[in-house]
Structure 1
Amino acid sequence: MDKSIELLWAKLEDKLNQQTSAITTVVTTNVMEAINDKMESIMQENKNLKTQITKLEQKLDQMEIDKRKKNLVFFGVEEKGKKESELVDYIKEIIVDAGLHLDSQEICNVYRIGAKTNKNRPVVVTLTTIWKKHLILKNKSNLPPRIYIKEDYLKHILEIRKQLQPKVEEERKKGNFAFIKYGKLIVKKSNDVNREKRKRKQTGSPNSPPKRSNPNIAKTSTAINAKDIIKPNILNYVVRGRSSSLSEISKIN
């Protein structure tokens, strides 16, 4: 009797262990699936947020780039005057000394950057037009001594340009035409540069057939020219008539 009870108990215990193991496996699987689903959802949401943040950062960078498009940074400008109007006049004087014409109205904004120390702080100048900025950059070699200018780049763009500068020098030593355009290295082989120059010199194809003149167009242009000739004669006639009448009146008086 005791043995049969022990066998029954052993079977019950074994079955209970199997059921417990099965329940544990099912629960664990369900929990893991739920966690995986939740993790996938969180990871996808995180990925979407990162994409949105990247887009926002790009928009902010572009807004900042657009904001600085008309800016120039002047270095070596003396700490002369405290008022903004005095600084505007000083910057205008520097640019005029370089042989360029500049009205005060063409300067939209001017301010110094950095903490005030014994050294001359850089001056950011915002112009009203981009072409005036390019004109000043083109004539920067004519600026007074110890004063130089640079474009107003973002901080990370300045770092990129600094890292690219050795590559520019390396390409130039190879005889290539290399420069940095904003934050990218542009390299043109010497052969490509010469080919572009030759293309610019060519005014047209020698094999192109001569254009035939259209008689209708010639007639139209002749008629237009005739009108243009008649109009000045009429005006001259009117002017002569008025001048002669005035001279006659003056004689009578």
Structure 2
Amino acid sequence: MEHVMEILKKIQDDLCNQKQEIKNMQENITKAINDNINQKFTIMEDRTSNLEIKINQQQKTIDYLERQARKKNLVFYGVEETEQGYEELQNTLLRCIRNYMKITIEQSEIEFVRRLGKKENKIRPLLVTFTTLGRKIEILKKKGALKGSVVNIKEDFPPNVLLKRKELQEEVEKERKLGRNVVLRYDKIVRLPGNFKNRNYMSDTRKQKRNLSASPEHQITLVNESNARQVSKKNKTNNITSYMNNITLKKGLESSSTERHTQSKNE
């Protein structure tokens, strides 16, 4: 019986040892697999990071090239769409610049011109590429001449920049309400020296001044003031005349008294 118990105990120990070995093998296999997976993940992360860096660099290059390609562009809105070909379209643009902006421009200064979007019932914008950046800047500076007309000019920005500018415009308005002089340049907000002047307030003030000058009561007041000034000038002239007469009379009296005194001495 004891012999049987020893055999059973030995079998039990062997089973325990086998279980431990199996457990160790599992742990080793799991560790090896995890190490292998981690190593592969590390390699993949490095590759992904390098790819992201390259993509960002390429995106910056693309943005720069696109910005340079659009640098000499302007977009005209409201230019009549009656052309039948490229030459007519170019002539329409030249007439628009000459008539509305009073700028002398030649056909050789236009590198390329085309309509944007599909032809519909509304007038499509007109994309213009000038031969020189200086000419484009000169025309953009004189966009104020288009005020009150159906034509308007804007710079040509990529879609992502337009979206960014739209988001930043709200922030610009907030900064200006606080009195900060900020402007939106390309896709960034730039702070300028000095305080922001509220143009709307200034325009309202100018309107009030114009209305005030057109008021009949104010015109009457101006007339009365003008009459008063004329009266004061007349009074001033009269005062000067009387003053000169008094001086002349005084000199005459003095000369006559001197003559009398001389005659009395001679006698």
TM-score band, normalised by the shorter chain? Answer: 0.7 to 0.9
Matched, 1:173 2:177: yes
Q: Secondary structure at the match of 1:124?
A: strand
Q: Secondary structure at the match of 2:80?
A: coil
Partner residue in 1 for 2:93:
91
Letter in 2 for 1:133: K
Distance of 1:61 and 1:85 partners within structure 2: 32
Distance of 1:52 and 1:23 partners within structure 2: 43
Q: Secondary structure at the match of 2:103?
A: coil
Letter in 1 for 2:29: V
Partner residue in 1 for 2:125:
122
- The normalised TM-score by structure 2 is 0.69
Distance of 1:192 and 1:167 partners within structure 2: 14
Is the 1:175–1:190 contact (alpha carbons within 8 Å) kept by the matching residues of 2?
no
Distance of 2:31 and 2:176 partners within structure 1: 64
CA RMSD, 1 decimal: 1.7
Distance 1:163 1:192, change over 3 A: closer
Matched, 1:26 2:28: yes
1:75-94: CA deviation from partner (whole Å, max 9, x where unpaired)? 11121112111111111111
- Count of residue correspondences: 193
Partner residue in 2 for 1:5:
7
Letter in 1 for 2:23: S
Unmatched runs of 5 consecutive residues or more in structure 1: 194-253
Distance of 1:189 and 1:71 partners within structure 2: 29
Q: CA deviation at 1:189?
A: 4.7
Is the 1:110–1:124 contact (alpha carbons within 8 Å) kept by the matching residues of 2?
yes
Partner residue in 1 for 2:219:
none
Q: CA deviation at 1:159?
A: 1.1
Distance of 1:48 and 1:40 partners within structure 2: 12
Higher Rg: 2
Partner residue in 2 for 1:139:
142
Q: Secondary structure at the match of 1:190?
A: strand
Is the 1:113–1:121 contact (alpha carbons within 8 Å) kept by the matching residues of 2?
yes
Is the 2:179–2:196 contact (alpha carbons within 8 Å) kept by the matching residues of 1?
no
1:199-251: CA deviation from partner (whole Å, max 9, x where unpaired)? xxxxxxxxxxxxxxxxxxxxxxxxxxxxxxxxxxxxxxxxxxxxxxxxxxxxx
Partner residue in 1 for 2:235:
none
Distance of 2:70 and 2:176 partners within structure 1: 29
* The structure with more helix, counted as a fraction of residues: 2
Equivalent runs, 1:1-253 vs 2, <5 Å: 1-97=3-99, 98-143=101-146, 145-190=149-194
- The normalised TM-score by structure 1 is 0.73
Is the 2:183–2:192 contact (alpha carbons within 8 Å) kept by the matching residues of 1?
no
Distance of 1:152 and 1:168 partners within structure 2: 20
Distance of 1:93 and 1:15 partners within structure 2: 99
Distance of 1:7 and 1:159 partners within structure 2: 80
Q: Report percent identity of matched pairs.
A: 33
Distance 1:192 1:72, change over 3 A: closer
Partner residue in 1 for 2:258:
none
Distance 1:103 1:174, change over 3 A: same
Q: Secondary structure at the match of 2:144?
A: helix
